[in-house]
Amino acid sequence: MRRLLAAAALLAAAQAPFAQTWPSKPVKLVAPYAAGGPVDVSARILAARLQESLGQPVVVENKPGAGGNLGAYFVAKSAPDGYTLVMGAIATHAINPSLMANVPYDPIKDFRHVALVVQVPNVLVINADVPARTVKELIAYARERPGRLDFASGSTGSTGHLAGELFKTMTGTYMVHIPYKGSAPAVTDLLAGRVHLMFDNLASALPNIKAAKLRALAVTTTLRSSFLPDLPTLDESGLKGFDMTTWWGVMAPGKTPQAVVERLNAEIFRAIEAPEVKERLRAMGSEPGAVRTPEQFTAFVGAERALYARLVRQSGAKPD
Q: How confident is the model at residue 18 (pLDDT cuts 50, 70, 90)?
A: low
Q: What is the mean pLDDT of the chain?
A: 92
Note the pLDDT tens digit of each residue in 102-112: 999 999 999 99
Assess whether 98 and 132 both reside in one domain. no
Assess whether 148 and 70 both reside in one domain. no
More confidently predicted of 286 and 88? 88
Domain boundary (201, 219, 237) is at: 219
CB < 8 Å & 24+ apart, contacts of 229-232: 231/123, 232/135
Q: For position 15, what pLDDT does the model report?
A: 52
> Could you tell me the CATH number of the domain that includes residue 101?
3.40.190.150
Residue 4 covered by a domain: no
Q: How confident is the model at residue 17 (pLDDT cuts 50, 70, 90)?
A: low
Assess whether 146 and 294 both reside in one domain. no
- pTM recorded for the entire structure: 0.85
CA distance 128 to 35: 34
Q: For position 142, what pLDDT does the model report?
A: 98
Assess whether 266 and 207 both reside in one domain. no
Residue 224: other Cβ atoms inside 10 A: 17
More confidently predicted of 273 and 204? 273
Note the pLDDT tens digit of each residue in 284-316: 888 888 899 999 999 999 999 999 999 999 888
Of the listed ranges 68-77, 143-152, 203-212, the one predicted with least confidence: 203-212
> Could you tell me the CATH number of the domain that includes residue 133?
3.40.190.10
Q: How many domains does the chain have?
A: 2
In the chain, the DSSP E strands lie at: 27-31, 58-62, 84-89, 111-127, 150-153, 176-179, 197-201, 214-219, 245-253, 287-288
Domain carrying residue 112: 27-119+245-315
Assess whether 282 and 145 both reside in one domain. no
Contact between 208 and 125 (Cβ < 8 Å): yes
